[in-house]
């Protein structure tokens, strides 16, 4: 089985501002001394893990990020509902798993439980930072809530060992979780994601716009009712991701004893990640610019060699000319071929090339996971 799966993509964005900085400008970075458009890895990872294609593939094998775990626990106690039902805002007439708890006990117990997941804001049931919670931890909390209500007592110290170091939550296994207070329960992410960079030099432009008052009869003022300015840019982006399949299987492994089921879940997850990377666009100002796009080129590599992001080799000199796409594909392919020669690397590859009409997304996604 190949240890690493590397994903290289080229995706062209029309004029857009999908990921902006604190001033509202499109994010940029210098590469090779030239200004490039940038989409942060944090933005990309959230876009992919919350996408429909990814969530349908992993089903309930996913976690969630929240500061509101304490409020959900209190509600589950007071309303005698399963915690998952509260978190997912599910209705219906599911049978109550326990008797109702009173408000005072529910608030106290919820505060004691969430204290183990990170710092809590004073006099509240809210974490000071987002916490990534797994299905196993939700199940453990739910069982504890039932015990507390049925036995009419608060949680003991040994009851609060709720954090898990492995999980069947694919998004947590892929993108990781840091627990500063309990580092032994941190989960190292099996997926590395680079910041997406344009393969060519860019100039951020200004979009001056006005809005007209619909009821203006031009009796006093024929001008605009509102004036504004936005900044935008367009570019062809290089996106890079790398999956450590061995680490992914290990993180998914301890709670999931069936090797076949674990392998199938990992395979589905990697395929879904590739499809999300190719088809999902960050939602920033999507309605204003209609910036949804699909990847024009996808290259998947499998092997044991040290992973490498190709941006600093292929695109450190900006692509120029009239056709950025063909130029970028050429430089990307030349880059990995030259690395193979000089470093004697040996990667198995499969590509989808939209302008050439070769390959398909299903084929490269299946190739990425088929060694399981």
- Cβ neighbors of 294 (< 8 A, separation 6 or more) are 11, 278, 279, 354
Range 100-115 average pLDDT = 94
All structural domains of the chain with their residue ranges: 4-59+189-203+235-369, 64-166
State both tokens at 60.
């309930």
Residue count of the chain: 372
Reported as a single tens digit per residue, the pLDDT across 319-334 is 999 899 999 999 999 9
Q: Which of 225, 238, 212, 234 is nearest to 285 (CA)?
A: 234
Confidence (pLDDT) at 89: 81
Q: How many CB atoms lie within 10 A of CB 180?
A: 9
Confidence (pLDDT) at 43: 97
Q: Which residues of 195-232 are buried (b: 16+ CB within 10 A; e: fewer)?
A: bbbbbbbbeeeeeeeeeeeeeeeeeeeeeeeeeeebeb
> Using an 8 Å Cβ cutoff, are 45 and 195 in contact?
no
Reported as a single tens digit per residue, the pLDDT across 30-46 is 999 999 999 999 999 99
Listed range (33-42, 84-93, 104-113, 357-366) with the worst mean pLDDT: 84-93
Reported as a single tens digit per residue, the pLDDT across 241-269 is 999 999 999 999 754 456 788 889 999 99
Q: DSSP class of residue 3?
A: S
Is the pLDDT at 93 greater than 80? The verdict is no
pTM over 0.85: yes
Confidence (pLDDT) at 255: 47
SS3 199: coil
CA distances from 271 to 55, 267, 277, 322, 368 (A): 12, 6, 10, 34, 7
Cα 229 vs. chain centroid, distance in angstroms?
A: 30
């Amino acid at each position: 089985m190949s240890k690493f799966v590397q994903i290289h993509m080229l995706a062209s964005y029309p004029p857009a501002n999908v990921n902006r900085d604190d001033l509202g400008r499109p994010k940029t970075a210098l590469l090779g001394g030239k200004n490039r458009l940038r989409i942060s890895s944090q933005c990309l990872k959230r876009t992919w893990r919350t996408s429909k294609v990814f969530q349908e593939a992993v089903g309930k094998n996913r976690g969630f990020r929240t500061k509101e775990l304490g409020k959900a626990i209190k509600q589950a106690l007071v309303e005698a509902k399963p915690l998952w039902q509260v978190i997912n805002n599910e209705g219906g007439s599911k049978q109550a798993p326990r008797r109702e708890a009173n408000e005072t006990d529910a608030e106290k117990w919820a505060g004691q439980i969430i204290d183990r997941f990170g710092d809590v804001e004073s006099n509240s049931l809210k974490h000071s930072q987002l916490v990534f919670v797994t299905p196993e931890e939700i199940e453990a909390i739910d069982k504890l809530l039932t015990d507390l209500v049925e036995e009419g007592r608060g949680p003991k110290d040994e009851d609060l060992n709720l954090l898990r170091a492995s999980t069947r939550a694919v998004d947590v296994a892929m993108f990781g979780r840091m627990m500063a207070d309990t580092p032994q329960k941190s989960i190292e992410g099996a997926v590395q994601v680079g910041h997406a960079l344009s393969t060519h030099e860019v100039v951020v432009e200004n979009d001056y716009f006005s809005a007209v008052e619909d009821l203006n009869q031009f009796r006093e003022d024929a001008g605009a009712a509102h004036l504004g300015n936005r900044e935008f840019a367009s570019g062809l982006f290089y996106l890079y991701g790398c999956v450590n399949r061995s680490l992914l299987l290990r993180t998914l492994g301890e709670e999931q004893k069936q090797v076949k089921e674990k392998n199938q879940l990992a395979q589905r997850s990697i395929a879904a990640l590739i499809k999300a990377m190719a088809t999902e666009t960050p939602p920033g100002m999507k309605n204003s610019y209609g910036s949804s796009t699909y990847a024009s080129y996808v290259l998947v590599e499998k092997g044991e060699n040290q992973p490498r992001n190709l941006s600093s080799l292929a695109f450190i000199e900006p692509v120029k000319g009239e056709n950025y796409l063909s130029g970028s594909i050429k430089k990307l392919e030349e880059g990995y071929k030259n690395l193979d020669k000089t470093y004697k690397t040996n990667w198995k590859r499969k590509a989808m090339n939209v302008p050439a009409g070769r390959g398909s997304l299903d084929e490269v996604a299946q190739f990425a996971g088929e060694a399981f």
